[in-house]
């Protein structure tokens, strides 16, 4: 057995350079801290994105599929998800999943942090919206938020750094329909630049999702946070996969063992270790860090590491328009309009908590033929061309994004035999949607059908649960005040291991019913401030 090479101690070591790790690294480096950032993936060249080539829809189903199990890039690790209703999605590179996302960026609501108090379910977070408010604002500036303030569904926000993205003809139809129904709607906050912003190209109203990615109008943290952090002195090490975290017998973190792309193994000593590996990667790492002192995994005296996995189950509803073409293949995919009429608990509906709608678009003709959203695959055979003509450029969709309440049986475990290319045991997930979720999604489908018909759709189709929509990975190292019922405290430090922090979506006590990235990044920025204060 070859022992890992021991590297000189560093002040702060962050594992993972995605949404949270990059934000935290920048904040720490901005204040002069000495930080090393380990990333299992490599730098991602945006010119490698399929962009505007004719093959781009093929690539989005293959080497740029959102699902790592399909993509199987060198940097991806497999997730054993055959026991899950939903397939998790993520991307491994500098910038993490912000390299391959739609950048829909609403905030949680104040009520999301107090669901036990307000609705008698799950647990309250030990922090509030107001604890994160300044960090949300800072993050909006750093990532570059397009939007417009005045949304009555939220507390007031500062002026958005950029104007809203265009909503298109389809967006206008949805907005006017919501007005007629007396429902809330608002142009989505989005970390996609509507105008040139901090060296990134603004989106000028043309092109598809793939081409916008290539131009970098969609924010990714390699650009927004890592590059400025490098200028501050951050040390970045790519293609370094962390195998285990170590702590001394007194319960203080000592460092991490990682393997580089050549197979060489190192032990990096550190005063502080911060985990930012997402809601599957972080519990995987903690559970893989079993030892004599930590037989159930590091920081796991509560038994909750890996438990309470939450996803935001999605349903999809598509509607077909007659007449003129709409802009459905141009522009944003899912960061267009948000509807939050049904966000809060209403006891008359028969379920607790609520949901948002995101308006969606398709990619292009290939995805149209394959039945993007819930439109259903276009039949093969003699009716193929007629049906394609009926749909192409003539439909839009609403995604129902539901609050997912934490449940212990939804969990991440470690497989006892299968490993990745470095020999690190793979994560295995177990997830079933709850009765409450089912009722909530069914209500959302009916509401979306009403909205689309009001918008003028002559036919509406739905899919009750999108299996390949596990974008949001939350809850697996729950934040709380009680060490017997949570893994990290309100400062994001683990209850069990001093100087070991978790700052990704794992710490979510509850999920809310909006995309989590701004909240993840606000938590990461706040944690950086706490760490800096010692």
Partner 1 sequence: MSKLDIKLLFKFFDLIIPQSENMPCASEVITVEDVENVLSGTHKYIEPLSKITDFARTKISAEAENELTDNHMTDTLLAMESTMGGDFSMFIEVIYLIYYSKGQVHEKINWDTDELAIKNRIPQFDDAILHNIAQRPPFWRQA
Alpha-carbon gap, residue 518 to 141, rounded angstroms? 11
Q: How many CB atoms are closer than 10 A to CB 415?
A: 13
Asked whether position 159 contacts partner 1 by CB under 8 A, the answer is no
Alpha-carbon gap, residue 465 to 463, rounded angstroms? 6
Asked whether position 52 contacts partner 1 by CB under 8 A, the answer is yes
Among 42, 172, 235, 459, binds partner 1 (CB under 8 A): 172
Contact between 434 and 407 (Cβ < 8 Å): yes
Burial label for 212, CB within 10 Å (0-12, 13-18, 19+), is: buried
Binding-site size, partner 1 (CB under 8 A): 70
Among 6, 83, 155, 418, binds partner 1 (CB under 8 A): 155
329 Cβ partners below 8 Å, 6+ apart?
A: 208, 361, 362, 363, 364, 365, 368, 393
Q: How far is the CB of 169 from partner 1 (least distance, A)?
A: 8
Alpha-carbon gap, residue 510 to 405, rounded angstroms? 6
For 393, the token pair is 């450029």
Q: How many CB atoms are closer than 10 A to CB 293?
A: 12
Alpha-carbon gap, residue 69 to 240, rounded angstroms? 20
Quick note: the x/- pattern for partner 1 over 404-433, rule CB under 8 A, is ------------------------------
Nearest 5 degrees, angle CA 466-CA 469-CA 475? Answer: 115
Asked whether position 185 contacts partner 1 by CB under 8 A, the answer is yes
Among 87, 109, 213, 443, binds partner 1 (CB under 8 A): 109
Quick note: the x/- pattern for partner 1 over 113-132, rule CB under 8 A, is xx--xx---------xx---
Q: How far is the CB of 186 from partner 1 (least distance, A)?
A: 7
Closest CA to 452 of 170, 231, 201: 170
Helix (H) or strand (E) holding 417: strand 411-419
Compute, in degrees rounded to 10, the torsion defined by CA atoms 401, 402, 406, 407.
Answer: -110
Query: Residue 30 or 327: which CB sits closer to partner 1?
Result: 327
Report residue 500 CA to chain centroid gap: 22
List of E strands, 139-291? 186-187, 235-237, 241-247, 253-259, 265-275
* Tokens 């800072």 sit on residue: 138
Contact between 491 and 272 (Cβ < 8 Å): no
Asked whether position 184 contacts partner 1 by CB under 8 A, the answer is yes
Q: How far is the CB of 43 from partner 1 (least distance, A)?
A: 22
Strand partners, 413: 428
Q: Find the binding residues for partner 1 in span 208-267 (CB under 8 A).
A: 208, 211
Query: Residue 54 or 262: which CB sits closer to partner 1?
Result: 54
Asked whether position 370 contacts partner 1 by CB under 8 A, the answer is yes
Q: How far is the CB of 159 from partner 1 (least distance, A)?
A: 13
Which region, judged by CB under 8 A, interacts with partner 1, from 57-65, 132-140, 260-268, 406-414?
Answer: 57-65
Query: Residue 95 or 207: which CB sits closer to partner 1?
Result: 207
Which region, judged by CB under 8 A, interacts with partner 1, from 10-18, 159-167, 308-316, 482-490?
Answer: 159-167
Query: Residue 190 or 433: which CB sits closer to partner 1?
Result: 190
Closest CA to 505 of 519, 494, 485: 519
Asked whether position 205 contacts partner 1 by CB under 8 A, the answer is yes
* Tokens 């995309």 sit on residue: 515
Asked whether position 194 contacts partner 1 by CB under 8 A, the answer is yes
Asked whether position 153 contacts partner 1 by CB under 8 A, the answer is yes
Q: Find the binding residues for partner 1 in span 305-334 (CB under 8 A).
A: 327, 329-331
b/e code 71-83 from CB counts within 10 Å (16+ = b): beeebbbbbbbee
Among 364, 444, 470, 516, binds partner 1 (CB under 8 A): 364
Q: How far is the CB of 329 from partner 1 (least distance, A)?
A: 8
Which region, judged by CB under 8 A, interacts with partner 1, from 264-272, 378-386, 405-413, 512-520?
Answer: 378-386
Which region, judged by CB under 8 A, interacts with partner 1, from 90-98, 172-180, 293-301, 523-531?
Answer: 172-180
Asked whether position 110 contacts partner 1 by CB under 8 A, the answer is yes
Asked whether position 163 contacts partner 1 by CB under 8 A, the answer is yes
Q: Find the binding residues for partner 1 in span 335-354 (CB under 8 A).
A: 344
Task: List residues binding partner 1 (CB under 8 A).
Answer: 52, 54-55, 57-59, 61-63, 70, 72, 109-111, 113-114, 117-118, 128-129, 148, 150, 152-155, 163-168, 172, 175-176, 178-179, 184-187, 194, 204-208, 211, 327, 329-331, 344, 364-366, 368-370, 377-378, 380-382, 384-386, 388-389, 392
């Amino acid at each position: 057995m070859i022992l890992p090479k021991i590297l000189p101690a560093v002040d702060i070591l962050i594992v993972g350079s995605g949404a949270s790790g990059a934000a935290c690294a920048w904040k720490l480096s901005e204040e002069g801290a000495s930080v090393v950032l380990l990333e299992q993936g490599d730098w991602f060249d945006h010119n490698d994105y399929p962009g505007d080539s004719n093959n781009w829809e093929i690539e989005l189903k293959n080497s740029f599929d959102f699902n790592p199990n399909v993509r199987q890039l060198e940097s991806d690790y497999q997730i054993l998800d055959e026991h899950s209703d939903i397939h998790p999605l993520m991307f491994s590179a500098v910038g993490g999943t912000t390299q391959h996302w739609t950048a829909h960026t609403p905030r949680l609501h104040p009520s999301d942090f107090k669901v036990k108090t307000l609705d008698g379910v799950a647990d309250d977070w030990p922090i509030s919206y107001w604890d994160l408010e300044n960090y949300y604002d800072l993050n909006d500036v750093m990532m570059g938020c397009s939007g417009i303030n005045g949304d009555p569904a939220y507390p007031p926000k500062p002026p958005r750094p950029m104007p809203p993205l265009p909503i298109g003809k389809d967006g206008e139809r949805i907005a006017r329909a919501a007005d007629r129904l007396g429902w809330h709607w608002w142009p989505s906050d989005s970390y996609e630049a509507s105008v040139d912003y901090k060296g990134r190209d603004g989106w000028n109203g043309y092109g598809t999702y793939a081409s916008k990615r290539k131009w970098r109008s969609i924010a990714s943290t390699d650009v927004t946070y890592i590059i400025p952090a490098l200028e501050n002195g951050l040390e970045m090490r790519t293609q370094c996969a962390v195998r285990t975290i170590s702590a001394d017998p007194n319960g203080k973190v000592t460092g991490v063992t990682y393997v580089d792309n050549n197979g060489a193994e190192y032990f990096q000593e550190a005063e502080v270790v911060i985990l930012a590996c997402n809601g599957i990667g972080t519990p995987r790492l903690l559970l893989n860090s079993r030892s004599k002192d930590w037989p159930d995994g590091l920081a796991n005296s509560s038994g909750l590491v890996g438990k309470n996995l939450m996803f935001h189950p999605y349903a999809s509803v598509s509607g077909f328009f007659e007449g003129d073409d709409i802009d459905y293949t141009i522009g944003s995919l899912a960061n267009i309009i948000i509807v939050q009429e049904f966000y809060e608990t209403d006891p008359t509906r028969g379920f607790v908590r609520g949901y948002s709608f995101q308006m969606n678009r398709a990619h292009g003709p290939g995805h149209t033929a394959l039945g993007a959203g819930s439109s259903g695959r276009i039949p093969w055979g003699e009716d193929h061309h007629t049906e394609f003509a009926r749909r192409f450029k003539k439909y839009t969709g609403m995604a129902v994004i539901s609050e997912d309440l934490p449940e212990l049986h939804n969990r991440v475990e470690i497989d006892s035999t299968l490993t990745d290319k470095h020999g690190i045991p793979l994560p295995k997930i177990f997830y079933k949607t709850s009765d409450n979720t089912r009722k909530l999604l069914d209500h959302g489908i009916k509401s979306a059908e009403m909205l689309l018909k009001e918008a003028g759709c002559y036919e509406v189709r739905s899919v009750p649960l999108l299996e390949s929509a596990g974008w949001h990975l939350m809850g697996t190292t729950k934040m709380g005040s009680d060490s017997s019922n949570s893994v990290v405290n309100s400062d994001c430090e683990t209850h069990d291991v001093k100087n070991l922090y978790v700052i990704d979506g794992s710490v979510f006590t509850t999920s809310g019913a909006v995309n989590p990235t701004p909240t993840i990044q606000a938590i990461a920025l706040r944690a950086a401030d706490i760490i800096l204060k010692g």
